[in-house]
Amino acid sequence: MEYITNSLVGGVLIGLAATLMLLLNGRIAGISGILGGVLSPRQGGLHWRLAFVLGLVIAGFAYPLFSSEALAFQLDAPVWAIVTGGFLVGFGTRLGSGCTSGHGVCGIARFSWRSISATLIFMLTAIATVAIVRNLAGAI
Amino acid sequence: MSQHAVINTVIALALGMLFGTGLAVSEMTNPALILAFLDIFGAWNPALIFVMGGALLVTVPGFQLMRLRGQPFFAREYFLPQKLQIDTRLITGAVLFGLGWGLVGLCPGPAITALATLDTNLLLFVVSMLAGMLVFRFIPD
């Protein structure tokens, strides 16, 4: 049951960061949008976007220092899947105007139909993808 | 630089760290855990539901506070998405993202925070993701 507490506490911290981002800076804490903005520096706002991304990286390094545990990480996918998956995540989140944070955490809180639809679509697609890769591919 | 640019940057750094800490505490940095959540026909692990639930517990009421103040504390206005229509781009984008997410178990935020692992395959994922974002820039509006 401990994982439920960790999940909830972590989720609350994520929600707190997204809420403060909106109330203080007036910005949506959507990671794909922020990364996309870093890659399009001419549109302005490069500094806060880079700072947010840097904060995400620092948290990854800092967490093991302040907790007794290493950063949870286990990646078993083959290289072709990593390259294809990475490309699809980058391209898809930009084309679809958001990812788990922008659509899932922020958009749903704004009661945006676009975000609610996008979240349902990427969740269902990902579930179907895992089902095909794990169950069907394994059966062949 | 606008009058708020420096404070916006400092706030973004702090909130990026807070967001990343949330990802680390909830173990969302672990692609195996995400794949276990998506694997509803296998050994299902519901952790992601509680993470999204915890986040929405704060953002749903928190975002409504926006209505109490005409503007953010450190910006002229709220910068909110203007599109309202559920169009082909939204749907296609969400499907492609879902495919990639299901293939690896990583979405943009956790991938960036997990950079701290210095894992070679993760680096390969992040580079591929940034490449996908760069290629998107060549798609006309």
DSSP A132: I
Answer yes or no: is pLDDT of A140 > 60.
Answer: no
Least Cα separation, residue A2 to chain B (angstroms): 11
Q: Do A89 and B101 touch (CB under 8 A)?
A: yes
The A residues from 38 to 77 touching B (CB cutoff 8 Å) are: 39-40, 47-49, 51-64, 67, 71-77
Write the CB contacts of B128 (distance below 8 Å, at least 6 apart in sequence): A82, A83, A84, A85, A86, A87, A90
- Asked if the structure places residue B12 within a domain, the reply is yes
- Asked if the structure places residue B141 within a domain, the reply is no
Cβ neighbours around B45 below 10 Å, total: 17
A chain contacts of residue B129, beta-carbon cutoff 8 Å: 35, 86-87, 89-90
Please state the rounded mean pLDDT for residues B61-76. Answer: 94
More confident residue, A134 or A17: A17
Are A21 and B9 in contact by the 8 Å Cβ rule? The answer is no
- Asked if the structure places residue B56 within a domain, the reply is yes
Q: Does ipTM top 0.85?
A: yes
Q: How many structural domains comprise chain B? A: 1
- Asked if the structure places residue B94 within a domain, the reply is yes
| The pLDDT of residue A139 | 56
Please state the rounded mean pLDDT for residues B90-110. Answer: 98
Q: How confident is the model at residue B3 (pLDDT cuts 50, 70, 90)?
A: confident
- Which range marks the domain in which residue B91 is found? 5-136
Q: Which residue is it, tokens 């706002």?
A: A45
In tens, the pLDDT along A101-139 reads: 999 999 999 999 999 999 999 999 999 999 999 877 665
| The pLDDT of residue A2 | 78
The B residues from 73 to 132 touching A (CB cutoff 8 Å) are: 73-81, 83-86, 89-109, 111-117, 119, 121-122, 124-132
A chain contacts of residue B139, beta-carbon cutoff 8 Å: 95
Q: Which residue is it, tokens 């991938």?
A: B111
Answer yes or no: is pLDDT of A39 > 80.
Answer: yes
Between CA B100 and CA B111, with CA B105 as vertex, the angle to 5 degrees is 90
- How many Cβ pairs within 8 Å bridge chains A and B? 475
Domain boundaries, chain A: 2-139
B chain contacts of residue A96, beta-carbon cutoff 8 Å: 89-94, 96-97
Please state the rounded mean pLDDT for residues B26-36. Answer: 97
